[in-house]
Amino acid sequence: MSPAPPSTLGIWLSAARPRTLGAAFAPVFVGAAIAHADGVLDGLVVAACLAGAIAIQIGTNFANDYFDFLKGADTEDRVGPTRATAAGWVTPGQMRLATILAFAALVPPAAYLVYVAGWPLLVIGILSVVCGIAYTGGPKPLAYVGLGDVFVLVFFGPVAVAGTYFAQALSVTPVALVAGLMPGLIATALLAVNNLRDVDTDIVAGKRTLAVRFGPAFARWEIALCLVVPILVIPPVLVGLSGGHYGALVSMLAFIPAVSVLRRTWTVQGAALIPVLEDIGKTLVIHSVLFGLGWGLS
């Protein structure tokens, strides 16, 4: 039985999944910090990048709610947070309209970014919306064929960080591209935990995530890789590439909360992984803020 619905505002806040918005904030913050260190920071451009990233994130969340319901992936056996459409809190038509409106909110910040930085930002915006819809929509959704991890890594990583940097500098550096792997990988760990939690119901729904294709052990190793590499490996690599910015190494402290995450991914399953998702989201924000401050101020 579906839980009692919250208020109308609560329903839409829940559907927007605010705890996932760190994945939108983190790469923009990193890109802005690198721009600041290079002397090209533009606060209005950064604000537009953040507004666009949040619109894409919420639009994708709404689209997932809508398309997973249509494909039968959200059943009463689902152990994750309640989905608004599957719970009957909103109709499919309402969720479809909300998806359109969320992506439409991208238009004003995207128009400004195209005005100041040109057609590459238009391409990024279009591809982000297309992939956000194709994540669970269309005849071969990315999430249903095991490509969701690639989408998250690329678009919440190098594309978002380098795109934020490009919008200010009108060029892209190797540092911006490599730095993008950090939020991208941690966001991928977030997705991998989500897929590990839902592996049993995804099998029934025909959702062939990597956890379904290769098993829970693979998903756990993926999570470990996606936390160890961005937190402990990439910051020293970036310091070496730049020949400075040693303050960015403070971001390696984010591995302290990550240790608990790694331990629990190997010892719990199902609904017990929900708090792990929340902790990875916090780790993503903490790591990105520490890196950005350390890089920008050193």
pLDDT of 143: 85
Highest mean pLDDT among 112-116, 148-152, 203-207: 112-116
Half-sphere exposure of 236 (CA within 13 A, CB side): 7
pLDDT of 200: 86
Asked if residue 96 lies in contact with residue 66, where contact means CB atoms within 8 angstroms, the answer is: yes
pLDDT of 141: 87
* Burial category of 47 from C-beta neighbours within 10 Å (exposed 0-12, middle 13-18, buried 19 and up): middle
- Higher-confidence residue of 19 and 128: namely 128
**What integer best gives the mean pLDDT of the chain?**
92
pTM: 0.93
pLDDT of 15: 92
- Higher-confidence residue of 173 and 69: namely 173
pLDDT of 77: 58
pLDDT of 280: 95
- Higher-confidence residue of 207 and 262: namely 262
* Domain segments of the chain as ranges: 8-296
End-to-end CA distance of the chain: 54
The proportion of the chain whose per-residue pLDDT surpasses 90, expressed as a percent, equals: 76
Model pLDDT for residues 110-127, shown as the tens digit of each residue: 999 999 999 999 999 999
Model pLDDT for residues 44-59, shown as the tens digit of each residue: 999 999 999 999 999 9
| Residue type present at position 222 | E
Joined tokens for residue 253: 């402290």
Determine the Cα angle at 15 with ends 61 and 110, to 5°: 45
Asked if residue 260 lies in contact with residue 218, where contact means CB atoms within 8 angstroms, the answer is: no
Gap between the Cα atoms of 298 and 295, Å rounded? 6
Asked if residue 63 lies in contact with residue 135, where contact means CB atoms within 8 angstroms, the answer is: yes
Q: What kind of fold does domain 8-296 have according to CATH?
A: Farnesyl Diphosphate Synthase (1.10.600)
Model pLDDT for residues 29-49, shown as the tens digit of each residue: 999 999 999 999 999 999 999
pLDDT of 201: 85
